[in-house]
Protein backbone atom coordinates (compact mmCIF):
# COMPACT_ATOMS: atom_id res chain seq x y z
CA UNK A 1 0.00 0.00 0.00
CA UNK A 2 2.76 2.45 0.90
CA UNK A 3 4.56 1.58 -2.33
CA UNK A 4 1.55 2.69 -4.37
CA UNK A 5 1.32 5.94 -2.42
CA UNK A 6 5.06 6.56 -2.78
CA UNK A 7 4.90 5.87 -6.52
CA UNK A 8 1.91 8.21 -6.92
CA UNK A 9 3.76 10.86 -4.89
CA UNK A 10 6.85 10.53 -7.12
CA UNK A 11 4.70 10.88 -10.23
CA UNK A 12 3.09 14.00 -8.80
CA UNK A 13 6.52 15.45 -8.03
CA UNK A 14 7.66 14.76 -11.61
CA UNK A 15 4.54 16.43 -13.01
CA UNK A 16 5.07 19.40 -10.72
CA UNK A 17 8.68 19.71 -11.90
CA UNK A 18 7.54 19.60 -15.54
CA UNK A 19 4.96 22.31 -14.89
CA UNK A 20 7.56 24.43 -13.11
CA UNK A 21 9.99 24.05 -16.01
CA UNK A 22 7.26 24.94 -18.51
CA UNK A 23 6.45 28.06 -16.49
CA UNK A 24 10.10 29.09 -16.45
CA UNK A 25 10.36 28.48 -20.20
CA UNK A 26 7.31 30.61 -20.93
CA UNK A 27 8.73 33.39 -18.76
CA UNK A 28 12.08 33.25 -20.57
CA UNK A 29 10.36 33.35 -23.97
CA UNK A 30 8.39 36.40 -22.87
CA UNK A 31 11.55 38.15 -21.65
CA UNK A 32 13.33 37.27 -24.90
CA UNK A 33 10.47 38.68 -26.95
CA UNK A 34 10.47 41.92 -24.95
CA UNK A 35 14.24 42.24 -25.35
CA UNK A 36 13.98 41.66 -29.10
CA UNK A 37 11.31 44.37 -29.43
CA UNK A 38 13.46 46.77 -27.41
CA UNK A 39 16.49 46.08 -29.63
CA UNK A 40 14.42 46.64 -32.77
CA UNK A 41 13.04 49.91 -31.38
CA UNK A 42 16.50 51.13 -30.38
CA UNK A 43 17.96 50.05 -33.72
CA UNK A 44 15.30 51.94 -35.65
CA UNK A 45 15.93 55.09 -33.60
CA UNK A 46 19.68 54.84 -34.17
CA UNK A 47 19.13 54.24 -37.88
CA UNK A 48 16.97 57.35 -38.17
CA UNK A 49 19.59 59.35 -36.27
CA UNK A 50 22.33 58.09 -38.59
CA UNK A 51 20.29 58.93 -41.69
CA UNK A 52 19.67 62.46 -40.42
CA UNK A 53 23.37 62.90 -39.65
CA UNK A 54 24.37 61.67 -43.11
CA UNK A 55 21.88 63.98 -44.77
CA UNK A 56 23.08 66.95 -42.75
CA UNK A 57 26.73 66.13 -43.40
CA UNK A 58 26.07 65.71 -47.10
CA UNK A 59 24.42 69.14 -47.34
CA UNK A 60 27.16 70.81 -45.31
CA UNK A 61 29.95 69.23 -47.33
CA UNK A 62 28.22 70.02 -50.60
CA UNK A 63 28.52 73.72 -49.80
CA UNK A 64 31.94 73.53 -48.16
CA UNK A 65 33.82 71.37 -50.68
CA UNK A 66 33.67 72.45 -54.29
CA UNK A 67 34.69 70.71 -57.46
CA UNK A 68 34.77 67.10 -58.54
CA UNK A 69 35.81 65.77 -55.12
CA UNK A 70 32.90 67.53 -53.41
CA UNK A 71 30.48 66.14 -55.97
CA UNK A 72 31.83 62.60 -55.53
CA UNK A 73 31.75 62.89 -51.75
CA UNK A 74 28.14 64.05 -51.86
CA UNK A 75 27.23 61.16 -54.18
CA UNK A 76 28.84 58.63 -51.84
CA UNK A 77 27.02 60.04 -48.81
CA UNK A 78 23.73 60.04 -50.71
CA UNK A 79 24.29 56.40 -51.69
CA UNK A 80 24.96 55.52 -48.07
CA UNK A 81 21.77 57.30 -47.03
CA UNK A 82 19.85 55.39 -49.71
CA UNK A 83 21.35 52.13 -48.47
CA UNK A 84 20.17 52.95 -44.96
CA UNK A 85 16.71 53.85 -46.29
CA UNK A 86 16.53 50.43 -47.95
CA UNK A 87 17.74 48.74 -44.77
Q: What does each C-alpha distance from 82 to 2, 38, 49, 52, 54 come to in angstroms? A: 75, 25, 14, 12, 10
Integer Cα distance of 67 and 30 in angstroms = 55
Model's pTM, two decimal places?
Answer: 0.57
Distance between CA atoms of residues 72 and 79, nearest Å? 10
What value, to the nearest 5°, has the Cα angle with vertex 37 and ends 21 and 22?
10
Tens-place pLDDT, residues 33-47 = 999 999 999 999 998
The range of the structural domain enclosing residue 78 comes to: 2-86
Task: Average the pLDDT over 39-58 and give the result.
Answer: 89
- Count structural domains, the chain: 1
Tell me: the pLDDT tens digits for 2-35? Answer: 899 999 999 999 999 999 999 999 999 999 999 9
Amino acid sequence: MTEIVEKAFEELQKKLQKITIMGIAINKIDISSKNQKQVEKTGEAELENLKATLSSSSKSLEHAIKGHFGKKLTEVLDKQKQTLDDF
